[in-house]
Amino acid sequence: MGKKTNVAIAIAAAAGAAWASTKALSKPQSRSTKEALEYDHPIVLAHRGGSALAPECSPSAFENAAKLGVHGFEIDLRLTKDEEIIVFHDEYLDRVTNLTGRVADYTLAQLEEADLGYNFIDLDGENSYRDCGEQIMTLGELLDKYPQMLINMDIKDAPQTYEGSLMPSKLWRLLEEKQAFQRVVVTSFYDEQIDRFNLYAQNTVALGAGEKEVRKAYTAFTSQFKHLYHPKADVFQIPVKSNVFPLDSASFIKFLTSLNIPVHYWTIDDPNIMKKLIANGAKGIITDRPDLAIEALKFD
């Protein structure tokens, strides 16, 4: 054998030995079951209340979705100037409301003057919600009004901002006040915000996966070192693709499911894609069209 061949064999042997040693020493641990994630069949979560059917995060959107029979809501959280937690997605108010500027620069009382229906265009191309009293809701109001719903909440304020620094503790105190631990999922694109929240929650609340956690899981899945992945999340809410990487394969879903981690996909409005994802093993669909999702995922 030549020198290059011998080197290649040595490298392969070393890699094999490393894999074997880590396999022997590292045993993947499944996440403990959370009551919020115990359900018998795939679920439908209305994205911001179902934002194709009514103004996003509006009272009408949530009420409409509840009447359709969804299992819960996927919402975004932001902190106001007077440190109230509201259900709202954008950092700025302009896209959705008749106000301008940052959410964090307004008090709750000022934000109650915002018209959530101001820029909404419905499926018929009409603006039928403007000046109809669609006001911003607080998280407390939503929890009180829909005690039967699973509410997946995404912390939107960045950890380096003032409002972001307060959000994890404020959110914990509100969930404690409402005793809502068993019917919510707390997540964020910022892994740091999830970690900060869990300093208070101590794994008593179901946690979603931030961007870094998703990357870590997918990297482990596509390598020979799946056994080295130790999850920090109880549920993955992910798109079908991240950049060029597909996240919707049956094998990836099976990998996460083996760790007791259900997978929910967002934002899915095509019934055929919904059915395909469920066939691949997904446990939830997050959608702007809860009407279509409820019909597509009907169970006898």
Q: What are the two backbone dihedrals, phi and then psi, of residue 184, each rounded to the nearest 5 degrees? A: -135, 155
Q: Is-contact 264 243, C-beta < 8 A? A: no
Report yes or no on 209 lying in a domain. Answer: yes
Which uninterrupted H or E stretch holds 215? helix 211-221
C-alpha 138/C-alpha 79 separation (Å) is 10
CA distances from 180 to 44, 51, 109, 193, 296 (A): 20, 24, 25, 19, 30
- Would 283 be classed as within a structural domain? yes
Position 216 in a domain: yes
Q: What CA–CA distances, in Å, run from 168 to 49, 95, 116, 155?
A: 23, 26, 26, 8
In the prediction, which pLDDT does 27 show?
62
In a domain, 96, yes or no: no
Residue type, 256: L
Q: Are 233 and 240 in contact (CB under 8 A)?
A: no
Is 21 domain-assigned?
no
| Separation of first and last alpha carbons in the chain | 65
For residue 20, the model assigns a pLDDT of 45
Taking only the tens of pLDDT, the chain with its 300 residues reads 555 455 444 444 444 444 444 444 456 678 899 999 999 899 999 999 999 999 999 999 999 999 999 999 999 999 999 999 999 999 999 999 999 999 999 999 999 999 999 999 999 999 999 999 999 999 999 999 999 999 999 999 999 999 999 999 999 999 999 999 999 999 999 999 999 999 999 999 999 999 999 999 999 999 988 888 999 999 999 999 988 889 999 999 999 999 999 999 999 999 999 999 999 999 999 999 999 999 999 854
Give the pLDDT confidence score for residue 18 in this predicted structure: 44
200 lies in some domain: yes
Any domain includes 133: no
Per-residue model confidence (pLDDT) at position 3: 54
**Residue 88, both tokens:** 């709202």
Query: Is-contact 99 88, C-beta < 8 A?
Result: no
Q: What is the pLDDT of residue 25?
A: 44
Contact predicate 247/240, CB 8 Å: yes
In the chain, the number of structural domains is 1
Distance CA 3, CA 23 (A): 30
**pLDDT value of residue 9:** 45
Is residue 39 within 8 A of residue 71, CB to CB? The reply is yes
Q: Which domain range does residue 186 map to? A: 37-78+141-296
- Report the CATH number that the domain containing residue 46 is assigned in CATH: 3.20.20.190
User: What pTM value is reported for the model?
Assistant: 0.89
* Other residues' Cβ atoms within 10 Å of the Cβ of residue 193: 25
Asked if the structure places residue 70 within a domain, the reply is: yes
Tokens of 279: 């066939």
- Give the CA distances from residue 219 to residues 11, 18, 223, 245, 251, in Å, rounded to whole numbers and listed in that order: 22, 17, 6, 10, 14
Residue 194: what pLDDT?
98
